[in-house]
Structure 1
Amino acid sequence: MNRQSGFSSIGMVMMLLVLGGVLLHGLDQHLRAQTPLLLNERDAIRAFNAALSAQAWGTTINWQPTGEWQCQTMQTEGWRACLKAGQKGDVLLAAQGISDSQPITLWRWGKQGATVTFSANGWIDSCPLSEPILCQLP
């Protein structure tokens, strides 16, 4: 009769445990490295959504456009919308979520008539004014 001591089985189990531990440690390090990127992405999405909400809110305000930036703030939501009259009856709306550490500003063209109306396709990715100083909101 063959007697087996079982040391090879125990050795194999120990090797699998060590290998599993090394793999879990590597995965933990990878996830820890990715966490700041995830948080940054989450903050960017929140800032964009706050600016989008501020822009939608800004289109509902009864504006009296002038050649200077006029701003209104909704403190409860942390939104700010600013409007400036341009040439030929154009108006420019800038909106951002002011509670964000790095707010995103969204821009939108509109027309001044009896009331201010905003074009459905008047969205702009960046400030369209010729001088950067003109794009600075108060």
Structure 2
Amino acid sequence: MLKGFKEFIMRGNVVDLAVAVVIGAAFGKIIDAIVKNFINPLVAAIFGQPDLGGVGNFAIGKGEFHIGLILNELLSFLFVAAAIYFFIIFPLNKLAERRKRGEEPAPSDEPLTTDQQLLVEIRDALQRRSS
């Protein structure tokens, strides 16, 4: 039972997913800080309010609708999605296109550090194991 669990955890996709979640959470915090400390002051300069929370609020009966809060979250989401696309997805797609055409990026003339050598060995071992 524990052996099966270990195999499940050691699969590349599970580890990759865990790393992606952690990095995504940290990246989300960075984008939130940019929105709160850069975008919101711009909104305050334009609309006279520190964020969009007070924009478009209305009530029907006892129900209050806060359109501005939805716009705040939508704006944060769009910035996170754009940052992930332009800083991660787009460069990786370009790299994949180069590899497909056989245009690998030129290797650095600097020797690999101990950590880099270890990562190369791990990569090679995983490739041998999967094939």
Normalising by structure 2, we get a TM-score of 0.32
User: Which protein shows a greater Rg?
Assistant: 1
User: 1 or 2, which has the higher helix percentage?
Assistant: 2
User: 1 or 2, which has the higher strand percentage?
Assistant: 1
Q: Which has the higher contact order (CA 8 A, sep 6+)?
A: 1
